A = this chain, B = another copy of it.
Amino acid sequence: MTVDDKRKIAVVGVGAVGSATAYAVMISGLVSELVLVDINRERAEGEAMDLAHGASFIKPIRIYAGEYKDCRDADIVIFCAGANQKPGETRLDLVQRNFAVLKDVLENLMPLKDDGILLMVSNPVDILTYAALRLTRLPPAQVIGSGTVLDSSRFRYLLSQYCQVEPRNIHAYVVGEHGDTEVPLWSLANIAGMPVQEFCCWRGVPCLDPEEISRRVREAAYEVIARKGATYYAIGLAVKRICESILRDENSILTVSGLVDGEYGISGVCLSLPSIVNRTGRARVLAVPLAAREEEALHHSARTLQSIIAQLDLP
């Protein structure tokens, strides 16, 4: 008898983001097994120990430092390897460095199990997701980038603070690049069906300035990095959320990154659009109606990403 329905996640690269993600996943009780892999084996061991020592406070889980081969029976491999964004650096500056890391890792990592999902988190996430898709030749649904799931959360959080209503009641998305060209979809943003600005007036709070909110969402990572040197806690929860939707086969709508194949006339690039996420991965992309300036901004985002992709040495 084989026990094939054990749930297992592998985290490759356990710097600040990888280890915070492992912590959030571990606390969630989502999986029975969690393996940490890092080029620095000692670091992986240290993180696995620090996490495992808290195991008696949560639902039982097996946590250990492993090798690439330990990823081959994982349901999801979360890719967090590579360098982090430095203060003042854009996500795109990282590209050549992290592309090299990706190629190295994939050579050792592959193949995944048949229905395994490769979840890219390292930045620039859209570029690396596209590169991973081309390098692995996996079906597009199985190669997902964390994309703007975090940016959408930041957008909702800022609106919820402003409007004094809980974030889950804010319906709002950020699409496009996880980076400077991202596009907050104000035309769709609503609270209980009321456009956000109308809601503000009604709630008796000062009218919000969309430009100001959009700027704060876009620059959130820079603001955090300027203050604490890095961002890792919120992304950890965002990645946990994506894993949950995959493993629990939830059909949730999340702004994950993935191959765009004709939507809005865009193709040959990975970026974030609202997508249905279930056990098969990024099952469907929603071509939600966009305002003209939003669609234009999305094209700009796509072109920015495509111009970088063109500089990579892809098969």
Contacts and interface: CB of A to CB of B under 8 A. Distances in A.
Contacts of A229: 46
A157 interface: yes
Nearest to A231: B50
Interface in A27-44: 27, 29, 32, 42-43
A87 B231 CA distance: 25
Number of copies of chain A assembled together: 4
A91 interface: no
Given A43-B227, A60-B166, A168-B60, A193 B203 contact: no
Contacts of A58: 237
Contacts of A274: 192
A54 interface: yes
A294 to B, nearest CB: 11
A52 B166 CA distance: 12
9 contacts: A3-B279, A5-B6, A42-B227, A46-B227, A49-B223, A53-B234, A54-B234, A55-B160, A165-B251
B237 A50 contact: no
